[in-house]
Structure 1
Amino acid sequence: MIILGIDPGIATVGIGVVDATEKHALRAVDWCTLQTKANLPIGTRLCELAQDMCTILTEHKPDLAVMERIYFANNAQSAIDVAQARGVLLQAVAATGIPVLEATPLQLKAAITGDGQADKRQVQDMLVRILHLQEIPTPDDAADALALAVYGTLAHMPQI
């Protein structure tokens, strides 16, 4: 099973792909970011994200996608921009028929580390262990997306 993790954003989208085909073993297949330029109109940025997501979906052919559920307390404009990007990304995945799970940061941290209050470094350290990596994946958005993909394996395939 190939799981795609998506950490949504308008400027940067984290992408993480995990292969859970082997029993009791997870493998990081790919991680990267999709980026848009701040000086472009919002519509152009959203179109670019949709096109880039379609490329990722075609390349990796995931069986499941996991997207972070966003939470913003302060900046309403940032929340709106990220929500728009999230909607475009969600639509691109849903149009292919791939099921989409959503995870809050609390759910993600609890599943990966056992502690819903874990910090980013603790999550990243666990990713290195779970995925047998040599170092923490970078940038942070891509590492977050890999964590979402791992969450998908734990939520969808609890026997792993």
Structure 2
Amino acid sequence: MLSLFVVALLSATLLPGGSEVWLARQWCLGEPVVMLWVVATAGNTLGSLVNVALGRYARHFQHKRWFPASPQGLARAEGWYHRFGEYSLLIAWAPVIGDPLTVLAGVFRLPWWRALAWILIAKGGRYAVVLSLAHLWLSPLCQ
């Protein structure tokens, strides 16, 4: 279970990785489904909160030459974020765009408890779907 937590945490940060395969593997090994869901959701949510913290901290460096976003790019991102707001974190589970959304939540100072709530809903929902699909598709293969 610790390995699942670590994989889920790291794959929620800006590092590449996918926890779904590891979750399915653990499910095939017969681990309790509820425990798998809790551990994966907790790890992935914590990883996303790391992104939120990085976004909050990164804002201090926005005027440095090496900052990865131009002022125009940051203004576009801010307009997009204000248009869709904190509800955009409901797609924090999505590959490619999910992790940057959590960073933007930090950059634009979404309160911690609201970021946690939206991210927890998104990540928990994704892992519930992954476990349901594992049950449907992998049951014959895991025996």
Q: Give the alignment's TM-score, normalised by structure 1.
A: 0.28
- Relative to its length, the structure with more strand (as a share) is 1
